Chains A and B, each alone.
Chain A
């Protein structure tokens, strides 16, 4: 193993002859004798160069065993050659770092994809900073240990980067998504068989009250679907709630105003509103213009909606979906007109503004629950039960994880990591 390595002086000739002579400097198999080890620089051992797993290609992972001389004073150099037969003399130094850095454990691989033991050295060669690795092309990589003028090379190894079809690092994510999906569908099936209790959500109980008030006053209802487009779950949730609200406004024959920031959302909401009026048996009352587009620009939209609030004085304002800085500009203006205001958002940064200025606020998940709550359909309610089971599971994992992580630190054991990795990086 180490007999194959080269031990040379920096700046000296690196011919094959010199290499052969200097290879005599290489130590016999490493015995771990600390006394002799620290005084002599040995070539890095057990060098492995592999295609970086679970990536889109263009990257190689270099692994080599830790050495007794690993310290801040000794350096490792990573050398790259652009052909499979390149020798260390023609290879380019692409990185240099202290010998007590760059370990597998620093890269936070989960245990099921870890390429080697945590204490093994690791460096990832990837595109950028003057390096261009092409998939399927073999490159030569080696590692040199450097101390002062001494330099010890490991035997160069050729490897080719390649793209992967599956990112196994994220398998815990997939597993938990499937598990949660199964729970949701199981809960839906259960809900079809027996009634499930739903806690009261005051904001949703107030929907009827708000629409009734608008009807009594003969004033319109203003409904906003948020700042995002139709690809965002919160906008979809807002559109679904609009369907329920529109059904009631149709029944009460109250005017509905839905200004939009996104034309696609507008088109979808037009269809939803139309269907709601049809279902309420008030197709003749439906106005195509009840859903209208204003602008995609944040503050222009805000100014326009504020204008509508001040001119038309709607009796009820609904703010559903995602919001940014415009949240307070909208709700404070609405509050100044004396309208009843119901908000529902998953934008956690805007929640304080909504809570402050609106009569009722659907906080986070309540926005998604609203559809089930208003429809009372077993299938929809089953989903809520599924979410609750999911939350209970996450809470248990947080509690258990805290205990296990603490135990791991207290007793200095590695086994807690096995469990913790399963629930880490679930993005």
Chain B
């Protein structure tokens, strides 16, 4: 039993890790076919895993309703929304439009989900403003540098700003292309090496806490 819990997953990780690392260097259609097949397997596994997720969601909110926890009404709304959408989706055969007219399922998507997503995304503008207000205060030397750089970049990115400060366009471009890009590259080099090192550790079983932590 311990073999299937510990050694087998490590073996599978080792073999698949090495095979698909090698696959990157093999352009042959057989290698591409292998990758495509495995991608499909992953999609199928993902589909089954979604059942796991939905079960978790149902269970969590069922407990909330049963215990009448604060905000349990929202759990009822979730149940109604989830089951209602599934029912409507089955009724419409998963189609959003039929003969050019939107189905009930399409209506839910277009007139409920999309505006809600749009609203969430729009809130980002206000959050950026409040976060900028907090961070762009010259409380230290570094914050002052950040403030000046931010003002130049913001001026250089909008037509009115560039009209008022003609040099801001070029300066902001220089800040983005030279200072910002060099720092980003340094971060990306570190990230890439970190990801490669972690991949090595996982493939060769050095890092195994993702299997459920612990040492044998």
Name A residues whose Cβ lies closer than 8 Å to a Cβ of B: 54-57, 163-167, 170-171, 173-174, 177, 180-181, 184-185, 188, 229-231, 233-234, 236-237, 239-240, 243, 247, 260, 262-264, 266-268, 271-272, 274-276, 278-279, 289, 291-300, 302-303, 307, 311, 325, 328-329, 332, 346, 348, 351, 353, 355-357, 363-365, 367-369, 371, 379-380, 383, 386-387, 390-391, 394
Contacts and interface: CB of A to CB of B under 8 A. Distances in A.
Q: Is the contact region of chain A dominated by helix, strand, or loop, or is it mixed?
A: helix
A172 to B, nearest CB: 11
A299 B120 contact: yes
Interface of B: 21, 24-30, 32, 42, 45-46, 49-54, 56-57, 59-60, 63, 70-71, 74, 116-117, 120-121, 123-124, 127-128, 130-132, 134-135, 184, 187-191, 193-202, 204, 206-207, 209-214
A289 B28 contact: no
A264 B49 contact: yes
A364 B188 contact: yes
Contact of B214 (A165, A267, A275, A291): A275
Contacts of A356: 131-132, 134-135
B194 A365 contact: yes
15 contacts: A56-B32, A163-B28, A164-B28, A185-B204, A236-B198, A236-B202, A267-B52, A272-B212, A275-B212, A275-B213, A307-B71, A329-B123, A364-B188, A364-B190, A368-B195
Nearest to A332: B127
Contact of A272 (B30, B57, B213): B213
A348 B184 contact: yes
Contact of A300 (B21, B117, B197): B117
Contacts, number: 199
A279 B25 CA distance: 41
A237 to B, nearest CB: 6
A177 B196 CA distance: 8
Contacts of A300: 116-117
Nearest to A331: B131
Contacts of A380: 201, 206-207
Contact of A263 (B50, B60, B120, B211): B50
B193 A188 contact: no
Query: Nearest 6 pairs between A and B by C-beta?
Result: A368-B194, A263-B53, A293-B53, A365-B190, A275-B213, A299-B120
Nearest to A297: B117
Contacts of B197: 180, 184, 368, 383, 386-387, 390
Nearest to B150: A352
A309 to B, nearest CB: 13
Contacts of B195: 233-234, 346, 368
Contacts of B27: 54-56, 163-167
Contacts of B45: 264
A295 to B, nearest CB: 8
Contacts of B212: 271-272, 274-275
Nearest to B55: A293
Contacts of A167: 25-27
Contacts of B71: 307, 311
A329 B127 CA distance: 7
A383 B196 contact: no
A311 B59 CA distance: 19
A346 B191 contact: yes
A283 to B, nearest CB: 12
B29 A299 contact: no
B26 A332 contact: no
Nearest to B194: A368
* Interface-central residue, B30, B117, B124, B188, by most chain A CB under 10 Å: B124
